[in-house]
Structure 1
Amino acid sequence: MNIGKIKLFKKGFQAYYLLVISIVSLTIIIQSMTQYSLKKQRSTALIVNLAGRQRMLSQRLLHELYSCRYHNCDYAEMKLTMTKLYQMNGFLQQGNVGLKLEPLDDEVILREFRRLEPHLEWLNSELKDFQNFKNLSFTDVRYRVDRFLFIMEGIVNQFQKKAEKDIHTMMIIELELAIFSIVIILFEIFFIVNPIINRIVDQKKKLSEIAWHQSHVFNSHMRNIADLQYVLKMEKNLERQKEIFGFIEEELNHLKKVSQNMVKSLEETIEDPKPHQLVIRKVEDFLEKYKLMGTEKALIDDDKAHSVK
């Protein structure tokens, strides 16, 4: 059994289908871009926050070392601070699933992290043994922390610039989509809605003409024929009957003309193709080329009724 190909669009309506689909698709795209932008901004804000937190951890590390040298030493707190500092440095570069951080792909920022690496490694190696605190030069630690702070400050600024650039790009894309949406709406108004309104007005005018013919001219002739038919039944004179038949024939001719006028009022006057009709024809040609349109006929844009098989 042969199964015919499924036709996605009926001739005469495919342009309207495509416009509706384009609006729905555009709405989905705009919403997707908005959600992506919000997700991107959340990720960027988190990265900037974590990078700023690195500066705080480095300063806390220096504070804990000072406490161990001159006050009560809390080695567990120092160890925890150092672990967070070292671990977060890796997360900012390699990403983390739990924090929903993606791996860093900006070469400029990665180069700054490579500059930061020696200072972080030195702090980690020198501070991991609490017995070495007394022999550790506080000046050296402070120098490493200051360098760490300086480089991390640059990294935070780079993250901020990258975030602003991404937001600016998203704003441009959303603005372009908004302009495109307005163009689609204007296209619908001028080439779909307005022609439909004009067509309805024309049809109303035609129906008014038909109603006038029906209520005045057509009914008048029908009454005359009915009266002549009654007179014909009553008349016995053959000459008079022939004369009455002539009157009836004359009324029938008038009815024929009235009927022709009624049909004429339904016919569309020949006009040059309208802009929206040219667009629809181009869409039809495109769909026929890829066999997306059925061959059956329906009410199409020329305002003429076609048979449907």
Structure 2
Amino acid sequence: MYIFALITIAITVILSQLLIQYNLYSQLSDSRIINISGKQRMLSQKLTKEILVLNFITDSLQKKEQIEKISKTISLWELNHYSLVNGSAQLGFPKEKNSILTRYFKNIKPNFDTIIKVTNTFLANKKENKNEHENIKLVQTLLVNEKIFLSEMNQIVSEYDNEALEKVTLQRKTEYIILAFTLFVLLLEFLFIFKPTTKKIESLISNLLYSEKKALKLAQDTEIISEAKENSVKELKSLNYAMENTLLYCRIATDGTIIHIGEKFSKLLQYNPFNTETKFGEVLTPIEKEQLIIDRIVLQNNRRGWQGELNITTRAEQSLWLDLSMIPVTIKKDESELLIICFDITERKKAVQEVERLNTANIENKLNQQKIISSKIVENQENEQNRIAREIHDGIGQMLTGLKFSLESINLDDKEKAAIKIDYLKKLSLDIIKGVRTATFNLMPPELSDHGINPALSKLTLELSKLTGKNILFYNKTDFNARLDSLIEINIYRLTQEAINNAIKYADSTHIIVQLSHSATLLSITVDDNGKGFDINAVEKKRNSESGMGMLFMKERIQYINGRVFFNSIPNEGTRITFNIPI
């Protein structure tokens, strides 16, 4: 059946192709005929134009060239015409033509012959340069016949075009008929050959698939069982390997006798795992006192289990800390054993001890620092009190004594001397007032308590600039004018005062700039100087030096108000100290 269907399809395709190829072969010359027919019209017009041009040429050389050109044109025109009329094997033109074309060519023949005759006569006259009057008549005759020839050729070209269109239409109809016949044959083959065969094949494939599914199910079940068995074996091997090489574990009897010990545990304890009938305490340590403690733990807790930390001495006489868990395991109804799992926590214990040691050392260091700071604070208070006492005794006290003696020595009878002494007393009173203000300013500036940190720092820089002759400037970059807690304000003031005094005393600076700025949560004060600077790391190592203690005092003081201080200094370039205080 399949062979018959295939042969039928093959015969249909071959016949359709033969018919199509025959029709295509018969149409091969149609486009060329239409092209040549159209070209004949162009050549007739070209011939006419060339003759008209020749009629007006007087130069003999140009006339000769034009005559040759006309001769070629008329030869080609004549060849094409006879090929269209009589057929041409070379060009593929058929000799047979329909009646309409035969009539058209018959009608055009007199005009064609006349144009040939007129052209030849005209060329002969031109070659001999005679009968110019006759040439004029020949040109007129040529124009009349050329017009008629063009009209007749248009009909011929149109007829060739209609003939080609009819062939194409016939070809299209033939192809549609062949397509319909082919589809009809395929439909019959589908209904009577392919469809019944397909049903049989589907039934066969369905039976094969069902059998395959049953076979696959059996194979999968077998494979799953086998894979599960292999996985179980692998898991047991992996678990055993992991326990042997990663865990410190062993199994012991309830009396403490070793049943099995892991490889890693035996290596840690330098114990031969093949030795039997050895007590667990003897495996852990060679020290008898430690063995008794371990045996007692096993005997007292072999039913409920135990967990804790043990410090033992190994055979290498090293201290070993173990986090030990003892778990009772029932093997059979009346048989049980203990599973021991340990973790080596020696390094953790050492780290804890080191942390405790460092904390103790840090506390002692802090206490020593506090003692030094307290002694320095007391020393500074004594120095400040002595300085204030000297200022009062040497300055204010002497000026008051002078004021007293000057008042007693005034003689009102001598008005001129009395006036001089009064002027002197006024000046002396002003100096006394200035001295009192300076002393009170160093103790607690009134601007700080009355107006806040901004006016106080502005006043501080102005007064120190006057007293020292150095350029000390203050900038409030963010226009901060808020009031803070009094403890915070006095500490900020003292920290800034200390930073400026250090720049004056130790840095050999000529310019000091104090800048205040703030954000929503932070107040920042920066003190810059152009002094000689210092090595911060070197100073921090020498904490007992004056500069080292100064940095330490600043750090301790700013911690009282939860602030931070930052030191930036480059030797021979200058120093920047920044105080950041939360607000």
Instruction: Provide TM-score, normalisation by structure 1.
Output: 0.58
Summarize the Cα distance change of 1:75–1:203 in structure 2 as closer, same or farther, 3 Å threshold. Answer: same
Deviations 1:154-183 (A, max 9, x none): 000000011111100110000110111111
Which residue of 20, 28, 33 maps to 2:14? 28
Q: Which residue in 1 is equivalent to 2:113? A: 121
Letter of the aligned partner of 2:162 in structure 1? K
SS at match of 2:95: coil
Letter of the aligned partner of 1:199 in structure 2? K
Q: Which residue in 2 is equivalent to 1:166? A: 167
Indicate the larger mover: 95-104 or 186-195: 95-104
- CA distance in 2: counterparts of 1:42 and 1:204, whole angstroms: 53
**Preserved contact between residue 37 and residue 170 of structure 1 (Cα < 8 Å):** yes
- CA distance in 1: counterparts of 2:22 and 2:96, whole angstroms: 18
Q: Which residue in 2 is equivalent to 1:95? A: 87
**Preserved contact between residue 43 and residue 100 of structure 1 (Cα < 8 Å):** yes
User: Shift in Å at residue 42 of structure 1?
Assistant: 3.2
User: Shift in Å at residue 184 of structure 1?
Assistant: 1.2
Q: Which residue in 2 is equivalent to 1:186? A: 187
Which residue of 104, 107, 122 maps to 1:112? 104
- CA distance in 2: counterparts of 1:127 and 1:207, whole angstroms: 91
**Preserved contact between residue 16 and residue 178 of structure 2 (Cα < 8 Å):** yes
Q: Which residue in 1 is equivalent to 2:232? A: none
Is it true that 1:39 corresponds to 2:39 in the alignment? Answer: no
Q: Which residue in 2 is equivalent to 1:19? A: 5
User: Shift in Å at residue 109 of structure 1?
Assistant: 0.7
Q: Which residue in 1 is equivalent to 2:125? A: 132
- CA distance in 1: counterparts of 2:119 and 2:148, whole angstroms: 17
SS at match of 1:128: helix
- CA distance in 1: counterparts of 2:80 and 2:22, whole angstroms: 25
**Preserved contact between residue 65 and residue 78 of structure 1 (Cα < 8 Å):** yes
Q: Which residue in 2 is equivalent to 1:272? A: none
User: Shift in Å at residue 207 of structure 1?
Assistant: 9.1
User: Shift in Å at residue 186 of structure 1?
Assistant: 1.3
- CA distance in 1: counterparts of 2:49 and 2:96, whole angstroms: 30
User: Shift in Å at residue 92 of structure 1?
Assistant: 1.0
Letter of the aligned partner of 1:44 in structure 2? D
**Preserved contact between residue 48 and residue 159 of structure 1 (Cα < 8 Å):** yes
Summarize the Cα distance change of 1:171–1:81 in structure 2 as closer, same or farther, 3 Å threshold. Answer: same
- CA distance in 1: counterparts of 2:115 and 2:144, whole angstroms: 11
Deviations 1:61-85 (A, max 9, x none): 1011101101243111111211111
- CA distance in 1: counterparts of 2:94 and 2:8, whole angstroms: 33
**Preserved contact between residue 93 and residue 104 of structure 1 (Cα < 8 Å):** no
- CA distance in 1: counterparts of 2:88 and 2:27, whole angstroms: 17
Letter of the aligned partner of 1:110 in structure 2? T
**Preserved contact between residue 26 and residue 181 of structure 1 (Cα < 8 Å):** yes
Is it true that 1:48 corresponds to 2:34 in the alignment? Answer: yes
Is it true that 1:64 corresponds to 2:41 in the alignment? Answer: no
Q: Which residue in 1 is equivalent to 2:293? A: none
- Once the two structures are superposed, the pairs formed by residues 1-309 of structure 1 within 5 Å of their partners are 13=1, 16-71=2-57, 72-73=62-63, 74-129=66-121, 130-132=123-125, 134=132, 135-136=134-135, 137=137, 138-201=139-202
Larger CA Rg, structure 1 vs 2: 2
Structure 1 runs, 4 residues or longer, greater than 6 Å off: 204-208
User: Shift in Å at residue 202 of structure 1?
Assistant: 5.4
**Preserved contact between residue 126 and residue 132 of structure 1 (Cα < 8 Å):** no
- CA distance in 2: counterparts of 1:181 and 1:83, whole angstroms: 52
Letter of the aligned partner of 1:122 in structure 2? T
Deviations 1:212-237 (A, max 9, x none): xxxxxxxxxxxxxxxxxxxxxxxxxx
- CA distance in 1: counterparts of 2:205 and 2:172, whole angstroms: 47
Letter of the aligned partner of 2:177 in structure 1? E
Letter of the aligned partner of 2:125 in structure 1? N
The higher relative CO (CA closer than 8 Å, separation ≥ 6) is in 1
Letter of the aligned partner of 2:143 in structure 1? R
Deviations 1:122-153 (A, max 9, x none): 11122124133532322211010000000000
User: Shift in Å at residue 100 of structure 1?
Assistant: 1.7
Deviations 1:221-262 (A, max 9, x none): xxxxxxxxxxxxxxxxxxxxxxxxxxxxxxxxxxxxxxxxxx
- CA distance in 1: counterparts of 2:193 and 2:41, whole angstroms: 61
Which of the two has greater strand per residue? 2
User: Shift in Å at residue 198 of structure 1?
Assistant: 2.4
Indicate the larger mover: 125-134 or 94-103: 125-134
Letter of the aligned partner of 1:79 in structure 2? S
User: Shift in Å at residue 24 of structure 1?
Assistant: 1.1
Indicate the larger mover: 48-57 or 177-186: 177-186
User: Shift in Å at residue 205 of structure 1?
Assistant: 8.1
**Preserved contact between residue 30 and residue 164 of structure 2 (Cα < 8 Å):** yes
Which of the two has greater helix per residue? 1
- CA distance in 2: counterparts of 1:93 and 1:194, whole angstroms: 59
Summarize the Cα distance change of 1:192–1:161 in structure 2 as closer, same or farther, 3 Å threshold. Answer: same
